[in-house]
Structure 1
Amino acid sequence: MRTFAARIIAFNKSLTYKGTLPEGIRIMNPFQESPLALAASSEFYQKYYHDSQPRHLILGINPGRFGSGQTGISFTDPKRLVANCHIDFPGPMTHEPSSAYIYEMIAAFGGEEQFYQQFYIHSICPLGFTKIGENGKETNYNYYDSPALLKSVYPFIVENIRKQIEMGFETEVCFCFGTGKNEAFFRKVNEAHQFFKKIVALEHPRYIMQYKSKEKALYIDKYLRAFSEV
């Protein structure tokens, strides 16, 4: 049997969006656009997932420009990849607040080795989106930010949740990062397709860092309690 690392790397390499997108929205595929992201993520998965031990899925929203858009690893920006995972990254040292929170939580959990032996983080939509604003600046865009985009990517989302489950992950419970629109959409999808027996939603790291940073320790404790119950 192939290791989880081999299955995850193959999945990432196969990610291709062939549908239409609303005007002004661009798909972001680090595995096809960036040799650095493909190399860094492959090294990461070989380091932490070189086995066949089942893990629990954690699904975020979709990749962002400064985290997995750079490294190909969910909630892992270049700074954390180098400092915490000890994997070289010759590209820009971008910073993503969500990544800072996740790696602080992972440290409280017991460290990278222990956390990644039990959990695998990806996204409900495994590829990200960007939009060019009126000022010409490119910004992150979520799959649910417009009805047109959500309608376009729905089959892609369902297909890739199924593909990730088929890698051999646990289906008793799935953790969802995001207690608003992401959770609401995910619960509807799960009701329709019966992917998981239970969904446990946790506040999104970006929300915590942006609006609840003074209560960060309380949210880390909440995460740890939720993860300890599986």
Structure 2
Amino acid sequence: MTFGEKIFKYYQQINVPQDLPTGVEVLYPFDSTEVADLTRSFYMRYFNDKRPRTFLIGINPGRFGGGSTGIPFTDPKILEEKLQIPNTLDKRHELSSRFVYQMIDALGGPEKFYDSFYFTSVCPLGFVRDGKNLNYYDDKALEEALEEYMAGEMRKQLDFGGNEIAFSLGMGKNIKFLKEFNRRHNLFKEIRPLPHPRWIMQYRLKRLDEFIGVYRETLAPFMPDFHK
């Protein structure tokens, strides 16, 4: 099977975490026929080969990005306008998605970028509480309830073909958790931090070009044909 076929099969069969704290709801878009079609189109276009990828690990999907489309860091508007994959989903922009696709353009565009990288999250499914996005680390009981689930789901994804060095999208709580998580579960040789896209867009927008440059400088060496 190709990397893309493995991803699509994984998301169609993904387990939903159980026994979560009261009030926590799981974002699960994969029971939608449209989302299944969108994810198939995306992954078979950009991952239809057997090359390993470098993992870029976010926190967990949000309501308007991966929690809607099933594709990490890709909102419905980007999916249609940037990737030419039509959809009837609510065309809201998601801040992280806006940064990610500007960064992808700086690294040569989606075809070249996805040849080398795979976006995922510490937890592959997102959460909401009281209608608002909830990060896995925002509730200690949630974090503890998810530990083994997240380790098992990351191992399944590594079987697609993962490189030994990965990147945390988040230089605060996400990288702190990931380093300890990785030490306990021995998933990657090393996890390196990058600033989180949403943090950049929300708090450092005036320095957007600078942060795109940081990503470009950091990730380009992991793209063998970047300078060709």
Fold agreement, TM-score > 0.5 = yes
How far apart are residue 18 of structure 1 and its match?
A: 4.1
Q: Which residue is 2:58 aligned to?
A: 60
Q: Which residue is 1:147 aligned to?
A: 140
Q: Which residue is 1:41 aligned to?
A: 39
Match of 1:106, SS state, is helix
How far apart are residue 35 of structure 1 and its match?
A: 2.3
Give 1:98's aligned amino acid.
S
How far apart are residue 170 of structure 1 and its match?
A: 1.2
Matched-pair contact (CA < 8 Å) for 2:107–2:220:
no
RMSD of the TM alignment (CA)? Answer: 1.0
Does residue 191 in structure 1 map to residue 183 in structure 2?
Answer: yes
How far apart are residue 229 of structure 1 and its match?
A: 2.7
Q: Structure 2, unaligned stretches of length 5 or more? A: 223-228
Give 1:165's aligned amino acid.
L
The structure 1 segments of at least 4 consecutive aligned residues displaced by more than 2 Å after TM superposition are: none
1:26-70 per-position Cα deviation (integer Å, ceiling 9, x unaligned) = 0111112x2222211111001111111111111100000001111
How far apart are residue 14 of structure 1 and its match?
A: 1.5
Q: Which residue is 1:164 aligned to?
A: 157
Matched-pair contact (CA < 8 Å) for 1:5–1:51:
yes
Distance 1:86 1:205 in 2: 22
TM-score (norm 1): 0.94
How far apart are residue 198 of structure 1 and its match?
A: 1.3
Percent of aligned positions that are identical: 40
Q: Which residue is 2:82 aligned to?
A: 84
Q: Structure 1, unaligned stretches of length 5 or more? A: 133-137
Q: Which residue is 2:200 aligned to?
A: 208
1:79-138 per-position Cα deviation (integer Å, ceiling 9, x unaligned) = 111111111112211210110000000111110100001101011100000001xxxxx1
Matched-pair contact (CA < 8 Å) for 2:166–2:190:
yes
Distance 2:123 2:163 in 1: 19
Match of 1:144, SS state, is helix
Distance 2:127 2:33 in 1: 19
TM-score (norm 2): 0.95
